[in-house]
């Protein structure tokens, strides 16, 4: 971790906040864990090119692709009992290094699923893949309710936005380089072995993510309070700023995932892009845009407040999938424009959502608040949105609707864009902000640099 000991942006933030040496080292180790976790996510996740390619080889259709994206979100329900356990025992490090580590280890077996097929038509490998994803996702739910409150105890409020933006810059750079490597391996390795190698690498990176947390101290800003779990839940449900965030982010994720989960399969199967093109014009392009944009968003977050960053980010991100409406077989520019401009804006909305979660949840009940936020937004937002998108596509295919150049995927993308934009304008402006600055103030400030 010597890379982070130099006089860099993090050192300046730590000095500004007056953080002692153990806390600085802890934040640096969390940074390392986040980096490994991000690289793990390039391979291991419901919508990655690697899992889409593996599932496609095993015979997955639109509904199965939607299910693979939805399962991790449905499993987020386990964050509620896990949050209860964390609140009662306060053993965040123990759970990260046992339950979380087991979750990441399972990904190393994903590439072996095709070996289960006894006949070309066998559904056993696909069913095993879905089952393994479900188990890993359930165990992985422990990670979120542990690391995020842990980080908030280490990082003071006044530097969180800039710390997260610097972190996102580093992880985006890593994603750019690692994404190219993964795409190259997916294109050149033999079909019988490439998924074994790719998921062994991805799972190994996830293991390194968990190991980093072994070296981070558990510093607490307040003495843990073991309030009754039902009382904390009721307090969270009555907390108006928190619930406004939950409702807004859930609706945003629902409308985004109506079509968003199917853009990679669409680009691969209908537009004809290969793994390298998907990576270069998807992951790499998004990483470059994130590296450029996120430092400015971090400064804007600390200066102008989360709501203004969220509003501008959601407006921009809601419109960028519309580039796919003009796609044709072999065209790469819709994927490129969507990922470049989309990443510029969705890095802002994600950064704002992280800041809002921390500011809207009290220290003593934060694991429960974070778990409730994640469960509702994941289940009613991402999972339900993805499943509804899959049902729509399957229904249109069965009925023979939208078979021309403006196909069923483009219809779904149009519906998603209209809903996302409309709900952004409806829900975000009413949310609270940390200060009195307006969106116009932020635009002027960012223009001046």
pLDDT digits (tens, 9 = 90+) for 96-144: 999 999 999 999 999 999 888 776 677 888 889 989 999 999 998 888 7
- C-alpha 264/C-alpha 133 separation (Å) is 19
- C-alpha 293/C-alpha 315 separation (Å) is 16
DSSP class of residue 59 equals T
What's the CA angle centered on 2, arms 15 and 279, to 5 degrees? Answer: 105
**Phi/psi of residue 119, nearest 5 degrees:** -135, 155
Give the pLDDT score at 220.
67
Closest CA to 355 of 83, 164, 147: 164
Q: For residues 100 and 136, is the Cβ–Cβ distance under 8 A?
A: no
Q: For residues 136 and 106, is the Cβ–Cβ distance under 8 A?
A: yes
Q: What's the rounded mean pLDDT across residues 228-236?
A: 75
Q: For residues 87 and 146, is the Cβ–Cβ distance under 8 A?
A: no
DSSP class of residue 222 equals S
Residue 164: pLDDT over 90 = no
Strands (E), 162-252: none
The number of angstroms, rounded, from the C-alpha of 374 to the middle of its chain's C-alpha atoms is: 11
Residue 425: pLDDT over 90 = yes
Q: For residues 181 and 93, is the Cβ–Cβ distance under 8 A?
A: no
Q: What share of the chain is helix, strand, coil (3-state, %, to 5)?
A: 80, 0, 20
Q: What's the rounded mean pLDDT across residues 420-447?
A: 85
Closest CA to 151 of 247, 246, 37: 37
Give the pLDDT score at 320.
93
- Structural domains in the chain, sorted by start: 18-220+229-448 (1.20.1250.20)
Residue 3: pLDDT over 60 = no
- C-alpha 350/C-alpha 363 separation (Å) is 21
- C-alpha 69/C-alpha 73 separation (Å) is 7
Please count the other Cβ atoms lying within 10 Å of the Cβ belonging to residue 305. Answer: 26
Closest CA to 310 of 359, 360, 346, 358: 346
Please count the other Cβ atoms lying within 10 Å of the Cβ belonging to residue 118. Answer: 8
Residue 260: pLDDT over 90 = no
Residue 417: pLDDT over 80 = yes
The number of angstroms, rounded, from the C-alpha of 54 to the middle of its chain's C-alpha atoms is: 21
Give the pLDDT score at 313.
92
**What does the pLDDT look like over 360-412, one tens digit per residue?**
777 667 777 877 888 888 888 888 898 899 889 989 988 888 887 788 999 99
pLDDT level of residue 227 (50, 70, 90 thresholds): low
pLDDT level of residue 5 (50, 70, 90 thresholds): very low
Q: For residues 69 and 47, is the Cβ–Cβ distance under 8 A?
A: yes
Q: For residues 30 and 216, is the Cβ–Cβ distance under 8 A?
A: yes
HSE toward the beta carbon, residue 57, CA cutoff 13 A: 22
Find the length of the chain: 449
DSSP class of residue 75 equals G
Strands (E), 127-261: none
- C-alpha 19/C-alpha 12 separation (Å) is 11
Q: Output the pTM of the full model.
A: 0.71
Closest CA to 194 of 184, 206, 204: 184
**Average pLDDT value for the chain:** 85
Residue 358: pLDDT over 90 = no
pLDDT level of residue 77 (50, 70, 90 thresholds): confident
Closest CA to 261 of 59, 412, 37, 423: 412
Closest CA to 224 of 130, 363, 46, 73: 363
**Phi/psi of residue 338, nearest 5 degrees:** -60, -45
The 3-state DSSP class for residue 82 equals: helix
Radius of gyration for the chain, computed over Cα atoms and rounded to the nearest angstrom: 21
Please count the other Cβ atoms lying within 10 Å of the Cβ belonging to residue 228. Answer: 10
**What does the pLDDT look like over 304-326, one tens digit per residue?**
888 899 999 999 999 999 999 98
């Amino acid at each position: 971790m010597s890379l982070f000991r130099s006089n860099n942006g993090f050192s300046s933030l730590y000095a500004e906040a007056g953080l002692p040496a153990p806390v600085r080292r802890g934040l640096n180790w969390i940074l390392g864990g986040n980096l490994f976790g991000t690289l793990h996510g390039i391979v291991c996740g419901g919508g990655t090119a690697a899992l889409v390619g593996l599932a496609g080889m095993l015979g997955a259709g639109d509904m199965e692709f939607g299910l693979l994206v939805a399962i991790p979100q449905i499993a987020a329900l386990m964050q509620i009992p896990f949050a209860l356990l964390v609140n009662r025992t306060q053993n965040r490090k123990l759970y990260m290094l046992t339950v979380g580590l087991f979750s990441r280890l399972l990904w190393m077996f994903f590439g072996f699923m095709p070996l289960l097929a006894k006949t070309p038509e066998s559904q056993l490998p696909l069913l095993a893949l879905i089952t393994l994803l479900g188990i890993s996702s359930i165990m992985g739910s422990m990670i979120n309710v542990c690391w995020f409150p842990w980080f908030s105890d280490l990082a003071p409020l006044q530097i969180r936005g800039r710390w997260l933006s610097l972190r996102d810059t580093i992880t985006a750079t890593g994603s750019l380089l690692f994404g190219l490597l993964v795409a190259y391996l997916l294109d050149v390795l033999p079909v019988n072995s490439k998924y074994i190698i790719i998921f062994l690498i991805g799972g190994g990176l996830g293991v390194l993510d968990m190991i980093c947390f072994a070296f981070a101290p558990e510093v607490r800003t307040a003495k843990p309070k073991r309030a009754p779990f039902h009382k904390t839940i009721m307090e969270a449900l009555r907390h108006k700023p928190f619930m406004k965030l939950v409702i807004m982010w859930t609706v945003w994720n629902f409308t985004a995932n109506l079509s968003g989960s199917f853009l990679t399969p669409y680009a691969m199967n209908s537009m004809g892009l290969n793994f390298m093109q998907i990576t270069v014009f998807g992951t790499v392009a998004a990483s470059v845009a994130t590296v450029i944009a996120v430092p400015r968003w971090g400064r804007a977050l600390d200066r102008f407040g989360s709501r203004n960053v969220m509003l501008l980010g959601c407006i921009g991100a809601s419109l960028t999938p519309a580039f796919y409406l003009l796609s044709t077989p072999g065209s790469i520019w819709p994927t490129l424009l969507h990922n470049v401009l989309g990443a510029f804006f969705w890095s802002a909305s994600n950064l704002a959502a992280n800041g809002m979660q921390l500011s809207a949840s009290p220290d003593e009940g934060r694991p429960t608040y974070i778990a409730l936020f994640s469960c509702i937004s994941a289940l009613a937002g991402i999972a339900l949105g993805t499943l509804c998108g899959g049902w729509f596509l399957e229904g249109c295919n069965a009925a023979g609707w939208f078979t021309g150049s403006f196909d069923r995927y483009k219809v779904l993308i149009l519906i998603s864009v209209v809903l996302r934009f409309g709900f952004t304008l409806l829900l975000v402006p009413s949310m609270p902000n940390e200060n009195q600055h307006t969106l116009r103030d932020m635009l002027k400030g960012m223009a001046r640099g």
